[in-house]
Amino acid sequence: MYRLVNRSFGRGRLGGLRYGANLLGQAAGRGLYLAAGFAAFVMIGHAAGPEVLGRYGLALAVLAVALIAADFGTTLTFGARLGAVGPEMRATEFGRMLSARLILGLGSGTVLLCLLPLLPGAIRPSLAFAGLLMPLTAARFLDALFQVCERPSWSVWPSLANAATLIGGTALALWLQLPEAALSLVAVAAGITYGVVGLSLAGRLVAARPASLSDGLATIRAAAGVGISNALGSLNGRISLMMLAAFAGAVELGQFTAGFRVFELGAAVAITLCAPLVPVFGRAVGTPAGRSAGGLEALRTHVRIALTVIVGAACACAVAACALAEPLVRLAFGSDFGGAVPVVRVATVMSVLLIAATILFAGLVPLGRTAFAVRGSAAACATNLIACTLLIPRDPLIGAAGAALLAEAAMLLVLVHAFWREAGPPLELATVPLLAGPGLATAFAWAAFPAPLAPVTVPAVAILSAAAAAWLCLRRVPAQTVPLTVSEASS
């Protein structure tokens, strides 16, 4: 399995996909980032209660939409281009990216500042701070550069700086009993710290000189399909929370924010798992001029492997999270957050759908087929809005979560159709048992073992079944499906 994941076959040929090494480097950084964010949520939930946590979550939701607008799909296209070009072109691509992100950051920051009067007073200072420094706040796009420059472990250092700022600042604000606005201000300051450290490290690898305005605009236009889709997708992920804020009170909003944090963690996990795949998929397909049927076949093979292994493991983890939702919520947020338990269970299912969609999306980006994503995201937003309007008045928490789940399913269906049309079926019938097996085995353990043993038996079965399915899938891959050379391995 190690050779299949990290090496190519043939005498004396080390390297290969290096997905495992790149994943570990990026996962360590994103793991710190996620852990810090979750720790801040836990501290605020325990110390300040559902109402304050609800407004804090609303601030982060608005900020997340602004950050997606400031990204506008350029991170994915940047990773795909870096995987396809030679080392001599990396500085040029980085300069174009810097120019594009400056334009996007200034634009999205200005829009955010204009929207401040519509938002609650407690979160306005932090969002104003973010809007003024949006190019730094939105500087989380460097993992692909660290990967292709053979420094994937450098992803850890910006995340470590972010974690220290966020956890230390949140703890200090709660201890000193500072005004509520200080909590979201700390979160924004942590994001800016991440950007400063990350850009400083990137400047040690390639020349950090922004390209011309025309190059920046060309980079934005090239990513427009992905960008509009991501903006709509980010909005879709927050529609339920915003609609709940309009229809329900602060307590319900806090309960939903705590439970829905699981989906936001799932989204970050999806990016962590799939970001290293974008340069790999880009290398498999090749440049448009050199693209062939063999490139499409290689892409299809890589996507099938990723779907089977990653989604299979995600299914097992989702079932385990559903089984342990109640004790986990009680442990993380306290006894006041019982309403978050059903939201957690719906959010775990959404996370699996999102991970599958992200893999397919990463496979389509190197093909340059991104316009479909705008239609899919728009359909998901429409589904979410309609479902929220119908379901939230009946049951605020379950209604909001169910609407978000329906929207995520709609997006996945669009992506499956798009990939099938461009590159062929994303799965083979023979791999379906390997994909579904870990989840079914974990569900059986949940049903068969006594409830007191569930915290041990269910996670153990999830881990073992996911590992077994991954081994069975990877050992079926023939040697010729990973034909990368040592120089290509760094991508």
SS (H, E, C) the chain: CHHHHHCCCCCCCCCCCCHHHHHHHHHHHHHHHHHHHHHHHHHHHHHHCHHHHHHHHHHHHHHHHHHHHHHCCHHHHHHHHHHHCCHHHHHHHHHHHHHHHHHHHHHHHHHHHHHHHHCCHHHHHHHHHHHHCHHHHCCCCCHHHHHHCCCHHHHHHHHHHHHHHHHHHHHHHHHCCCCCHHHHHHHHHHHHHHHHHHHHHHHHHCCCCCCCHHHHHHHHHHCHHHHHHHHHHHHHHHHHHHHHHHHCCHHHHHHHHHHHHHHHHHHHHHHHHHCCHHHHHHHHHCCHHHCCHHHHHHHHHHHHHHHHHHHHHHHHHHHHHHHCHHHHHHHHHCHHHCCHHHHHHHHHHHHHHHHHHHHHHHHHHHHCCCHHHHHHHHHHHHHHHHHHHHHCCCCHHHHHHHHHHHHHHHHHHHHHHHHHHHHCCCCCHHHHHHHHHHHHHHHHHHHHCCHHHHHHHHHHHHHHHHHHHHHHHHHCCCHHHCCCCHHHHCC
Q: Please give the angle made by the CA atoms of 441, 446 and 447, to the nearest 5 degrees.
A: 100
The phi-psi region of residue 10 (left if phi > 0; otherwise alpha if psi is between -120 and 50; otherwise beta) is left
Most confident region among 168-172, 364-368, 463-467 by mean pLDDT: 168-172
Q: Choose the weakest-confidence range: 72-76, 82-86, 144-148.
A: 82-86
Which among 203, 183, 78 is positioned nearest to 120, based on CA atoms? 183
133 phi and psi, to 5 degrees?
A: -120, 35
Residue 447 neighbours by CB under 8 Å, 6+ apart: none
**Residue 306, pLDDT above cutoff 50:** yes
Mean pLDDT of the chain: 79
Q: What tokens does 210 get?
A: 């922004």
Tokens 């009170």 correspond to what residue?
249
Same domain membership, residue 381 and residue 311: yes
Same domain membership, residue 286 and residue 166: no
Confidence (pLDDT) at 15: 39
Burial of 375 (0-12, 13-18, 19+ CB in 10 A): middle
Rounded CA-CA distance 163/153 in Å is 16
Confidence (pLDDT) at 5: 42
Same domain membership, residue 308 and residue 216: no
Number of domains in the chain: 2
Give the chain's radius of gyration (CA, Å).
Answer: 22
Task: Provide the pLDDT confidence category of residue 274 given band limits of 50, 70 and 90.
Answer: low
Query: Tens digit of pLDDT for each residue in 329-354?
Result: 888 787 778 888 899 899 889 888 98
Same domain membership, residue 73 and residue 57: yes
Same domain membership, residue 232 and residue 133: no
Rounded CA-CA distance 231/69 in Å is 6
Confidence (pLDDT) at 291: 53
Q: Which domain holds residue 154?
A: 18-222
Confidence (pLDDT) at 7: 42
Confidence (pLDDT) at 14: 39
Same domain membership, residue 237 and residue 373: yes
CA atoms within 13 A on the CB side of 161: 19
Tell me if 279 sits within 8 A of 424, measured CB to CB.
no
Tell me if 302 sits within 8 A of 281, measured CB to CB.
yes
Q: What tokens does 5 get?
A: 């994941």
Structural domain includes residue 2? no
Structural domain includes residue 489? no
Task: Provide the pLDDT confidence category of residue 421 given band limits of 50, 70 and 90.
Answer: confident
Structural domain includes residue 118? yes
Which among 69, 62, 97, 355 is positioned nearest to 227, based on CA atoms? 69
Tell me what percent of the residues of the chain surpass a pLDDT of 70: 81
Task: Provide the pLDDT confidence category of residue 185 given band limits of 50, 70 and 90.
Answer: very high
Q: Which of 222, 250, 275 is the last residue of a domain?
A: 222
More confident residue, 418 or 19: 418
Same domain membership, residue 409 and residue 304: yes
**Residue 269, pLDDT above cutoff 50:** yes
Same domain membership, residue 297 and residue 320: yes
Dihedral sign for Cα 98, 100, 103, 107, please.
negative
Same domain membership, residue 185 and residue 98: yes
Most confident region among 40-44, 118-122, 424-428 by mean pLDDT: 40-44
Q: For residues 26-52, give the mean pLDDT.
A: 81
Structural domain includes residue 488? no
**For the whole model, what pTM was predicted?**
0.67
Q: Choose the weakest-confidence range: 220-224, 247-251, 290-294, 400-404.
A: 290-294
**Residue 295, pLDDT above cutoff 70:** no
Burial of 102 (0-12, 13-18, 19+ CB in 10 A): middle
Q: Which of 167, 202, 222 is the last residue of a domain?
A: 222
Torsion, CA 196, CA 198, CA 203, CA 209, rounded to 10:
-70
Most confident region among 165-169, 241-245, 252-256 by mean pLDDT: 165-169
Same domain membership, residue 244 and residue 214: no
Rounded CA-CA distance 184/52 in Å is 11
Rounded CA-CA distance 178/365 in Å is 45
Tell me if 165 sits within 8 A of 143, measured CB to CB.
no
Q: For residues 224-234, give the mean pLDDT.
A: 72
Q: Which of 190, 222, 254 is the last residue of a domain?
A: 222
Same domain membership, residue 229 and residue 217: no
Structural domain includes residue 231? yes
Rounded CA-CA distance 261/390 in Å is 23
Structural domain includes residue 12? no
Same domain membership, residue 241 and residue 355: yes
Confidence (pLDDT) at 487: 31
CA atoms within 13 A on the CB side of 63: 29
Q: How far is CA 57 from CA 52, 331, 489, in A?
A: 9, 19, 40
Identity of residue 25 = G
